[in-house]
Amino acid sequence: MTAVYPSLTRRPLSDGWQVRAARGPAEVPGSAVPATVPGVIHLDLLAAGLIPDPYLDDNESRLAWIGLVDWSYETTFDVSAAQLAASDRHEIVFEGVDTVATISLNGRVLAEVANQHRQWRLDVTDILAEGANTLAVDFRSPIRYANEQSVILGSRERPYPLPYEAIRKSACSFGWDWGISTATSGIWRPVRLESWSAARLDRVLVRAEPDGSGGLVRVDADLVRASAGALTLAVSVAGVERTVEIAEGDDAVSLTVELEHAERWWPAGHGEQPLYDVDIELRAGTDPIDSASRKVGFRSLRWDTEPDEAGAPFQLVVNDRPIFVKGVNWIPDDAFPTRVDRDRYRRRLEQAKAANVNLIRVWGGGIYEADDFFELSDELGLLTWQDFLFACAAYPEEEPLRGEIEAEARDNVARIAHHASLVLLTGNNENLWGFEDWGWNERLDGKTWGAHYYYELLPKTIAEIAPHVPYAPGSPFSPGMGWDGEAQTGPHPNAETHGTMHLWEQWNRLDWSTYRNHRPRFVAEFGWQGPPAWSTLTRSISDAPLTPESPGMIVHQKAIDGNAKLTGGLVPHYRKPEDMETWHWAMQLNQADAVLCALEWFRSHAPYTAGAVVWQLNDCWPVTSWAAIDGDGREKPLLFALRKAFAPRAVSVQPSGDGLVVALTNETAEAWSGDVVLRRVGFDGTVAASVSVPASIDAWSTVRVDVPAELAETDAAVALTAEALGQRGVWWFDEPRDSALQDPSLSATVTRAGDDAFDVAITAGALARDITLLVDKIAPDAAVDRGLVTLLPGETGVFRVSGIRELAVEQILRAEVTRTANQLVVGR
């Protein structure tokens, strides 16, 4: 008689959880309250009405005790005799535990865990009982544990007080210069019971690559067996199925599926993103006993780092086409990441794509992002770059961290390596630079700091599991760097002429116009601060009066000397306003101006400069920060600056020696030729001089066109406009604060464009600089599709306002709603 094997079953264990304070300075009753899994303790206490919202006012400090408490989670689930007997093996799988915990079933300890960033699979075959089973996860205070480990491992260099380098937990959960300190605990990713017989799939690696006009899909699968016996692995792609027999005793198998025709996957802006389902089935005889699935895209990929006469580039090449990287840095989209579901990922990533972004860098102080993040990036054509989780600190290389770091690297590389969007894995954020320039070497005095991870362990792990995924030891990083056991060798890690660099001197010490003093090969971090949207600010801070320095504002400003840097960065361009709403607008506008200046400059030097990644796209709570989208998901003017600078066809005017040039960027498949129309314009719209310069530009390229000397003279002109490619670039001869900008005399019409959308046409009576509609002041859910629009006298710009049921001209033309740069000059 032929044996019949059941398929592996997966039973979620998400119901019936309760949590209570076990030990420590809890300021809540000791009785258990309902708990959500996946979730974290802050959200459970908030749902139970035991704590206020951590994001409001100074509740962060009021709730600091939570991270000092040990918390106990527990649930009970039933298993029938038939369920026990139906399978040979039973395992409980935790996809993520945050962070230090003892896991028990029916009073027996299954594991002691201390790593937020890895999966745990625990055999409970001999412990699972018929009837009720009690699963408990007892957490230790992450703050106390990290402090204990820092004593054992020895102190290391870091920028913040709590020793986040001594615990494998999201570094920014202890606070950052944009982030709230939560130090939370919880079962933060799903947990389930898996039951199976004969065998199950363990690690499944899938790699897709183009092959002529077709494609190859290679599957490497590791198995875990409960019994001997021949098995079959079947793989199906695009209607093509291949099978391979697995002999008794073998626990690894490989199989390749060949497709005669496979469409190429392209980054956003360069083509389509076709994805192919890869269905994998493990069979015992004819019985399917386990399965897995992946989606893949076919594209070739490399980073060109070959030395040239200037240094070494960092040029992304996809399907043999050089790609200018238009990137943004990504932090966890919520300080409690369990609240970020697929819909929220989609909203945020679609906002990025709408701003013409083509790459998202997942920063190394957060988390390895969820499957939803990478799947949606594949669909949208957004390239992804995932840092390994090391940020701005020296990390011990001793146990237990050493083994945990290898385990988490293996888990996460295997999980994400098949994604078409994944173009780079990076060893750390700023640690190579810190060791070189921030005095770490001397203060460490021979202690380990992470070099083994960045130069040995991580590249070795990638070479074994995902050799098709490029790797860089750090960001910033210069190709040719290495480690000889005592010192880093090769170029400086933040060299302007080699690889990737971070530019932070502008925000910290210099005016943003000095971005133009640099000609980097690739900028992986730079940015400027600005406050969140007005509705976000006033929802989260109840100060009366609300001022830039009122108590709640300071709580929601985490950067060292942040407000002083905001003011210092504003006054070279605008005078500091006295009222709060105008201060808010001035700082948002200056943030956008700073980043726009940098991006247009960097892009004008393509392909020598091969990319720019702005710090940062998103926020994790309501805060004054470098983000383009605030903690409530509202778009700041900075996002409009990204959209303009990253447009497929873009025009900007740049300084060059003693003169000016027009930079034309054509990131489309069609070449362009025509006239660059140059006009020297006065405040009243008068054209003081005009000339047309013939130009042409190939597809996917950038050219620079000299501005005739007589057009670069200021005379009575306020600006030089350059029109080509259907776009306009503007060069302002004076800073706004030194100019004679007038009241723009705006008028408007409002036309309904849908149940909750309106087209707002704004006409300028005089030159209007950087028109931006802060429509959340009319209705908190309202949004607008464009901003930072400059109109010459008599010109009209149309703005689509959505998320609002009724809209009147009088509402739009309120001075605090329709903002311009003129408002920061007129009357001063």
- 512, 594 contact by CB (below 8 A): yes
Q: Which of 105, 110, 39, 109 has the alpha carbon at shortest distance from 71?
A: 39
Complete domains list, the chain, with CATH: 9-194 (2.60.120.260), 198-296 (2.60.40.10), 321-645 (3.20.20.80), 649-733 (2.60.40.10), 746-824 (2.60.40.10)
pLDDT band at residue 828 using 50, 70 and 90 as cut-offs: low
Q: Which of 760, 798, 759, 756 has the alpha carbon at shortest distance from 779?
A: 756
Residue-wise pLDDT tens digits, 723-741:
999 999 999 999 999 988 8
Mean pLDDT of 786-806: 97
Mean pLDDT of 174-198: 97
Residue-wise pLDDT tens digits, 387-396:
999 999 999 9
Q: Which of 602, 597, 598, 571 has the alpha carbon at shortest distance from 586?
A: 571
- 703, 668 contact by CB (below 8 A): no
What are the percentages of helix, strand and coil residues in the chain, rounded to 5? Answer: 25, 35, 45
Measured distance between the N- and C-terminal CA atoms of the chain, rounded to whole angstroms: 94
192: Cα separation from own chain's centroid? 28
Percent of the chain clearing pLDDT 70 (strictly above)? 99
**Residue 500 DSSP label:** B
Residue 794 β-bridge partners: none
Burial (CB < 10 A; 0-12, 13-18, 19+), residue 151, is exposed
pLDDT band at residue 712 using 50, 70 and 90 as cut-offs: confident
H or E segment to which residue 137 belongs = strand 131-139
Distance between CA 223 and CA 8 in Å, rounded?
Answer: 13
Residue 530 β-bridge partners: 625
Other CB atoms closer than 10 Å to residue 821's CB: what's the count? Answer: 26
The predicted pLDDT at position 5 comes to: 76
Residue-wise pLDDT tens digits, 358-368:
999 999 999 99
The predicted pLDDT at position 684 comes to: 86
The predicted pLDDT at position 56 comes to: 98
CA dihedral 392, 393, 397, 401 (to 10 degrees): -80
Distance between CA 577 and CA 580 in Å, rounded?
Answer: 8
The C-alpha angle with vertex 30 and arms to 28 and 31, in degrees rounded to 5, equals 110
Extended strands (E) in 80-130: 89-94, 100-105, 108-114, 120-123
Helix (H, G, I), strand (E, B) or coil at 690: strand
- 74, 136 contact by CB (below 8 A): yes
pLDDT band at residue 261 using 50, 70 and 90 as cut-offs: very high
Mean pLDDT of 656-667: 96
Over 80: is that where the pLDDT of 3 sits?
no
Q: Which of 617, 125, 136, 688 has the alpha carbon at shortest distance from 330?
A: 617
The predicted pLDDT at position 714 comes to: 72
- 50, 28 contact by CB (below 8 A): yes
The C-alpha angle with vertex 381 and arms to 389 and 95, in degrees rounded to 5, equals 40
Alpha helices by DSSP H, listed for 557-636, are 562-570, 580-604
Tally DSSP H helices, then E strands, for the chain. 18, 44
pLDDT band at residue 1 using 50, 70 and 90 as cut-offs: very low
Burial call 46-74: b when 16+ CB within 10 Å, e when fewer: beeeebeebbbbebbeebebbbebbbbbb
Percent of the chain clearing pLDDT 90 (strictly above)? 95
The predicted pLDDT at position 683 comes to: 86
Residue-wise pLDDT tens digits, 37-64:
999 999 999 999 999 999 999 999 999 9
The predicted pLDDT at position 204 comes to: 98
